[in-house]
Amino acid sequence: MNKQSYQLLESLLTDAENLAYNDGNLDKTKKRAEMIVKKVFGPETEYVKKLNIIRFSPTMTYSGMDRSIYNSTFQNGRKQLINLISVMLEDVSLSMPEEVSETTLEKQPNELSSNIFLVHGHNEEMKQATARFLEKIGLNPIILHEQPNRGRTIIEKFTDYANVGFAVILLSADDVAFDKTLKLKDGKLRARQNVILELGFFLGKIGRENVVVLHEQTENFEIPSDYQGVLYEPYDSKGNWKISIARELKASGYKIDGNKLLE
């Protein structure tokens, strides 16, 4: 993988984003997409198969079918194409060699532990989906309540298992809080206090560059604002949060197989 491959996919993404219903560019873009994908990943890549199953028109039609159905199917296919190209871009990005400075070499150990501490609130789906994704890319999510107690207090257990190189923090809408000068109706949703405490712990222990924070996408959700430089990624229904985690892990020195992002 090289810079040219990335640039080709970037131009293909632009073509896909500019597609419009009945503008005459669909066939040209599809052919160009197949050509670029084969050139970048090889003719036997799974990406070609995934590309070919994208549909831009209804599989079944009938006389008098509402034109809005055609347009809706086209727009859905366009979104699938854009998402697939975005995954391919991330795959190439993860595979491209990076320039490693002396500072980076001093900072990173020779071999990073596969243990990733997962801080979570009460959103079970959010916790399970993130844990299964980390496992899928070959890492071991550490969920504190799933670890044996062995007679330790909570803080002793936490500090024992917090000896990791990377942490994923999940901010879910578990509590309601408001300024004491305001009324209850003015309250905002926010993460549990223990989650915020553990976020601060890992920012101090392993550095903000080794921490990813995902926040639940819901109305009136309050995101902590006092941590300068921390990037809060939305936990979105399309799964783009997976690419965000993979990108940050790669930047921290972890080897991530981009193909597993499609599984």
The pLDDT tens digits of the residues spanning 109-158 come to: 445 789 999 999 999 999 999 999 999 999 999 999 999 888 889 889 99
Percent of the chain with pLDDT over 90: 29
What is the C-alpha to C-alpha distance for residues 253 and 105, in angstroms, rounded to an integer? 10
- Other Cβ atoms within 10 Å of 38 Cβ, number: 15
pLDDT digits (tens, 9 = 90+) for 67-119: 788 888 888 888 989 988 988 888 887 776 654 444 443 444 445 789 999 99
Give the alpha-carbon dihedral of 77, 35, 239, 206, to 10 degrees.
-160
Give the pLDDT of residue 111: 55
User: Which tens digit of pLDDT belongs to each residue from 9-42?
Assistant: 888 888 888 888 877 888 999 999 999 999 888 8
Domains of the chain by residue range: 3-95, 102-261
Angle, CA 155 vertex, CA 152 and CA 160 arms, to 5°: 70
Name every residue whose Cβ is closer than 8 Å to that of residue 209 and which is 6 or more positions away in sequence: 248, 251, 252
Pick the CATH number of 102-261 from 3.40.50.450, 3.40.50.1820, 3.40.50.300, 3.40.80.10: 3.40.50.450
| Cα–Cα distance measured from residue 9 to residue 86, given in angstroms and rounded to the nearest whole number | 8
92's tokens: 């190439």
